[in-house]
Amino acid sequence: MDPLFMALSYYKRRKFEDCVTTCTKILDKNPYDQAAWALKAKALTEQVYIDEVEADDQGIAEMVMDDTSVAQVSRPGTSLKAPTSAGVNQAVRPVSQSGRPVSGFVRPGTQSGRPGTMEQALRTPRTAHTARPVTSASGRFVRLGTASMLSNPGGPFINLSRLNYNKYAMRPNLAKVLFEYIFYHENDVRNALELAALASEHQQFKDWWWKVQLGKCYHRLGMFRDAERQYKSALKQQVMLDTVLLLGKVYQRLDQPLQSIETFKQGLEKFPNESSLLVATARIYDGMNDVENTTKWYKDVLESDGVNIEAIASIAANYFYSDQPEIAIRLYRRLMQMGVYNVELFNNLGLCCYYAQQYDMTLKCFERAIDLANDDELADVWYNIAHLALGIGDNTMAYQCLRLALSANNGHAEAYNNLAVLELQRGDFERAKALFRSAAELAPMSYEAHYNQATLAEAVGDLQSSYISALKATKAFPEHVDSKDLLKKLKQHFTNL
Amino acid sequence: AGPKRKIKARKAAKLPSIERRNWLIHSHFIRKEFDGCKSLIQEQLVETNGQCEYAIYIQALMLRSDGEIQQSLELFQACHQINPKNPDNMKQIAKNLILLGKHKSAIECYNHATDLGERDWEICHCLGVCYQFLKQLDQAEQCFLEALSKGKHTVTYSVLAKLYLEQQETKKAIDILQKGVDFAPENTDLLTSLGLLHLRNESFHRAFELLGQALTYDPENYKAILAAGSLMQKHGDFDVALTKYRVAAQRVPESSSLWNNIAMCFFGKKKNVAAISCLKRANYLSPFDWRILYNLSLLHLTMQQYASAFQFASTAIGLKSDHGPLYMLLAVGLANLGQDDNAEQAYLKAMELNSNDPHTLINYCVFLHNRGNSQKAANILGNFHKLSDDKSVSVEKELFEISKRLSAVLNVGEKIVVEKEKVEKHRKKKATKKTES
C-alpha cells in the first residue's frame, strides 16, 4: 500500500507513533515531500498537544511579581485576588492550606489563593496554590519542550533557526501546520509569534485563525492587552467558541472576573447552552467564593451535559458540606456509573456513606481507595478513616490511622491537628502542644490549630502565646465565635487591674 | 515690668521637671489615643534621659494591652529600678508574670509588693489566682476571702465560685455567687453562672428567674439563652424555646449544644427527621460529645432504625463508659437486631451501673418477658415497684401504666408486644441536654 496513505490512516486513527515512523521513512526517500513533512509535523504536535484553554499554569513569578490588574484595592466581589469568604462556613467546610474552601474538582488552572510575597510563596508547600507543584515561572512549557526532544533520538525534526519564515508564511497550508508545531511541540513562542505575524500580514488580516494564534502567543508572553485586542478582532470576523473562552481567560488574568463573565454570557447568546461556557462561568464564581452562583451554573451545565464530571463533583462536594450527604452519594455514584475509577471518588463515596449512615458500603469504599492510592492520596484516605474511627468511638484506631496518614504524607496539617486533639484526650499536653505547633506552621490559613493552641496555652496560663494564637485564628476565620470570645477575655486580662 | 521679667528669667533657668507632662500623657492614655501618647512618651523620655517613671509605666501598660507581655514586663522592671520603693511597679511586674504563666515568680513579687506597701485586695486576689493555678486550693480560697474582706469585686466572686466548683462544693459556690449577685445585680456573667448552678441543682424556679434577669440586661447572651431554652424545653414549651434558640443561632451558628437543643425541640414536636438532621450537624461540629450521640441513638430507636441506633450508642459508650441509660439504649437496639445474648449483657451492665433507673428496669423486664424468662421478669418488676414506692424518685405515669400491664401479663402469662415504652422514656432524657458548662 502507498506509505503516505498508510501514514494518513494512522494519523486519523490517532496512532501517532506509527504515523511518525512511516513519514520518516518517506522523508528519507524523498526529503522534499511536503505532504509527508506536514503530516509528520502534525503527528508530532498531536502527541504533546494540550488544550490552550485548560493549560493555565501560573508560576511563582506570575503570581507575585506580575502587576496586570488595574485596581489594587478592588471592591469586594469584583476580584479573584481578594475573594470574600461570605457564604462559606469554615467550621463545616475545610480550607486548603492557603485558606480557600476546598473545591470538588481540581484542574490545572486551580489557584487556591495567592501567596502575598515571594518569600511566603517559597516557604509554603509546593502544591498549596495550584494543582501541580509550583515553579518559578510557568515551567510546564519548558519541560515539555525538552521532553519532546528526548523522544527524538535523531535530533529535532525541524531546526527552527534555519527556517525562513517569510517563505512559509506565503503558503497557508504549510504555515498553519508549522505554527502549531512550533507552538505546541517546540514551545518556542517567539518564533511562533514571528511566523504568525508574517502569515497574518500575508492574509491581509482576514483570517481569524491567525489572529487567535497571535493572541495565544501574546498571552503566553504575558502581554494580555495585546492578546485581548487580537481576540476581539478575531471575534468581529467570526465568533468561535474557542475565542470566547480565550478572551474570558485573558480577563481572568487581568483580574476582571465580571468582564470575563460578561464575555461568556455574550458567547452563550451565540451558542446557547454550550457547556464549556457554562463551566467557565461557574469556575469564575467559584474563584470568587460565590457558592450559590457556582452551584447554579454547574446545575445549568448538567442540564445540557449530564455527564460533566467537573459539574457533578463540584455539586456533590457542595451538598456534602451542607449537611446533605445522601444527595452527594447519588452524585458520586453517578460518577462511578460513568466509569470514573480513582482514589478520590472512592474516598468521597466512603465519607458520604459514613455520614449518610450507610454503614455497609463505607469500609469497602475506603479499602478500594487504599488499593488505588499513591502516597499523598493515601494520607488523605487514612485521615478520613480516622474520622470514621472517631465516629465509632474507637480512639486507638483513630490514633493509628492518623499516624499512618502522617507517615504517608509528612506535611498533612489536619492530621497533626487531630492527632494533637487525641493526645490531649490522653493527657499528654507537651506532645499535643508540639503537634499543634506543626499543624499551625504547615497550614497557617486554617483556624483550627491556632484556636486549639490558644485554648491550650490559656489553660496553662500562658496568656501571651494564647493571645498570639487567638489573633491568628480570628484572622483565618473572622466569624469564629469561640476565638472571638477568647480574644475578648484575654484583652480583659490585659487591660484590667 | 521690671519685677515680672525677673520672675520669668528665674523660671527659664530652672531645670525642667521630670514629671511635668504626666497629666498630658495620662489624659492621652485614658482616651486610648495611643499614637499621640507614644510620641509624647518618646519626647519625654529623650528630654529626661529615660528617667521619667510615669512615661515608662504608661508605655508598658500600652504594650500589655497590645498583647506584648514580655516587652511590657521589661519596661515595668525598668520602672522598678528607677523607683524601687513603689509597690505599684512590683504589682505590675507580678501581673505580667501571671499573664506569662510564671505563677511562682508572681507570688514572690506580690510578697515583695506587700513588704513595700499595704496588702490591698488586688494583691490578695492575684495571689489567689496564682495559688489556684499551682493547685494549692486552700491557700487560694483564703486569699480570695481576704480579698473580698478588703474590697468587693465581681471578678473575685466569679473566680472563687469557680474554685468551689473545682472542689465539687456546689453549695458554697451558690452561696458565694448569690453574694456576688446581691453586690452587683446587673452583672450578667454572675447571673448566668448562678442560674446554671441552680439549674444543675434542679431548683428550676430560681434558675429561670436569674436567667431571665440576665437576658433582660443582655438579650444576646447566648449562654443564658441556651440555659433558658433548655428550661422551657423541660416544661414542654418547644415553640417558645425554638424562638429563643433562633436568636442564639444567629450569634453562634456553629455551637453544637445549640443544635442539640434545637434538635430535641423538634423531637418534642414529633418532627423526627428535622431533629435527626440537626443532631447530625451537632455531631459533625463536636464529635466527642456523648450527649449528642445519646440523643442520636434515642431518635434512631424511635425511628426504628436499630442499626444506626446501636452504632451511636456504642460510640457514646466509647466516650463515656459509666452511664447506665446508654447501655440500656444499646440493649434495646441489640434486642431489635436479634442479638439477644449481647442485649442481655448490656442490660446487666446497665443495671450494674444504675439499678435505680425506672426506664432500665421496665425495659429489662419487657426484654426478659419476651425471652420467656417470666420468673426473673417478675423479680425485676418487683424492684420497679419498690422503686416507685420510694418518694425520692420521680416516675412518670406512662411507666406506671406499662408496669400495670406487665404485672397483669406476668401473672396471667399472656404474650404481649410492648414496643411503645421506648417512645416514652425520651421525655425524661431531655433533662440531660443542657450542655453549656
Averaged pLDDT for residues B380-399: 70
Residue among B67, B133, B288 minimizing CB distance to A461: B133
Q: Which amino acid is at A314?
A: S
Q: What is the pLDDT along chain A (497 residues), one digit of tens a residue?
A: 799 999 999 999 999 999 999 999 998 888 888 899 899 999 999 988 888 777 766 766 676 666 777 777 778 778 877 666 555 677 777 776 556 677 777 766 665 566 666 666 666 666 655 555 555 555 445 444 444 434 455 567 877 777 888 888 888 888 888 888 888 888 888 889 999 999 999 988 889 999 999 999 999 888 999 999 999 999 999 999 999 999 999 998 888 999 999 999 999 999 998 999 999 999 999 888 888 899 999 999 999 988 999 999 999 998 998 888 999 999 999 999 999 898 889 999 999 999 998 888 899 999 999 999 888 889 989 999 999 998 888 889 999 999 999 999 888 888 999 999 999 988 888 999 999 999 998 888 888 999 999 999 988 888 888 999 999 998 888 888 889 999 998 888 888 75
Q: How far is A357 from chain B (nearest CA, A)?
A: 7
In contact, A212 and A240? CB cutoff 8 Å = yes
Using a CB-CB cut-off of 8 Å, the residues of chain B touching A361 are: none
In contact, B404 and B384? CB cutoff 8 Å = no
Number of neighbouring beta carbons within 10 Å of residue A82: 15
Q: Which of A397, A402, A481, A494 to mutate to test the interface with B (most CBs of B within 10 A)?
A: A494
Torsion of CA B110, B116, B117, B118, to 10 degrees: 60
Q: Please report which helix (H) or strand (E) contains residue A34, including its range.
A: helix A34-47
Task: Name the pLDDT band for B186 (thresholds 50, 70, 90).
Answer: confident
Residue among B65, B103, B253 minimizing CB distance to A461: B103
Which of A124-138, A356-370, B344-358, B399-413 shows the lowest per-residue confidence on average (mean pLDDT)? A124-138
pLDDT at B14 over 80: no
pLDDT of the residue at B435: 41
Is residue A459 within 8 angstroms of chain B, CB to CB? no
Instruction: Tell which residue, A479, A489, A426, has the closest CA to residue A457.
Output: A489
3-state secondary structure (DSSP) of residue A95: strand
Domains of chain A: which residue ranges? 1-48, 454-497
Contact: B252, A481; criterion CB under 8 Å = yes
Averaged pLDDT for residues B160-181: 88
Averaged pLDDT for residues B333-357: 86
pLDDT of the residue at A67: 74
Angle in degrees, 0-180, between the axes of helices B397-412 and B421-429, rounded to the nearest 10? 150
Beta bridge partners of B407: none
Burial of B398 (0-12, 13-18, 19+ CB in 10 A): middle
Residue A113 makes CB contacts below 8 A (sequence gap 6+) with A96, A98, A99, A100, A129, A445
pLDDT of the residue at A70: 75
Give the A:B interface size as CB pairs under 8 Å.
Answer: 80
User: DSSP assignment of A33-93, as one string?
Assistant: -HHHHHHHHHHHHHHT---TTT-----HHHHHT----S-SSPPTTS-SSS---TT--TTTS
Using a CB-CB cut-off of 8 Å, the residues of chain A touching B262 are: none
Contact: A395, B98; criterion CB under 8 Å = no
Give percent above pLDDT 90 in chain B.
19
Half-sphere exposure for B215 (CA within 13 Å, toward CB):
19
Averaged pLDDT for residues B284-293: 90
Using a CB-CB cut-off of 8 Å, the residues of chain A touching B99 are: 463-464, 493-494
Residue among B67, B122, B126 minimizing CB distance to A467: B67
Residue among B64, B101, B319 minimizing CB distance to A462: B101
Is residue A464 within 8 angstroms of chain B, CB to CB? yes
Q: How far is B305 from chain A (nearest CA, A)?
A: 10
Residue A117 makes CB contacts below 8 A (sequence gap 6+) with A64
Q: How far is B308 from chain A (nearest CA, A)?
A: 7
Using a CB-CB cut-off of 8 Å, the residues of chain A touching B133 are: 461
- Chain A segment 45-104 residues within 8 A of B by beta carbon are 89, 91-92
Using a CB-CB cut-off of 8 Å, the residues of chain A touching B120 are: none
pLDDT at B179 over 70: yes
Torsion angles phi and psi, residue A256, rounded to 5: -125, 75
Is residue A171 within 8 angstroms of chain B, CB to CB? no
List, for residues B212-257, the tens digit of each pLDDT value. 889 899 888 888 888 889 888 888 889 989 998 988 888 888 889 9
Contact: A359, B288; criterion CB under 8 Å = no
Contact: A468, B285; criterion CB under 8 Å = no
Gap between the Cα atoms of B310 and A162, Å rounded: 78
pLDDT of the residue at A495: 82
Nearest Cα residue in chain B from A360: B307
Nearest Cα residue in chain A from B71: A464
Residue with cell 465565635: A481
Residue B331 makes CB contacts below 8 A (sequence gap 6+) with B343, B344, B346, B347, B350, B363, B364, B367
Q: How far is A429 from chain B (nearest CA, A)?
A: 15
Q: How far is B130 from chain A (nearest CA, A)?
A: 10
pLDDT of the residue at B408: 74
- B186 or A96, which is more confident: B186
Using a CB-CB cut-off of 8 Å, the residues of chain B touching A397 are: none
Is residue A391 within 8 angstroms of chain B, CB to CB? yes
Q: How far is B1 from chain A (nearest CA, A)?
A: 52
Averaged pLDDT for residues B168-188: 88
Contact: A323, B281; criterion CB under 8 Å = yes
pLDDT of the residue at B432: 46
Averaged pLDDT for residues B80-93: 89
pLDDT of the residue at B324: 85
The distance of Cα A152 from the centroid of its chain, to the nearest Å, equals 31
Contact: B99, A494; criterion CB under 8 Å = yes
- Read off the pTM: 0.83
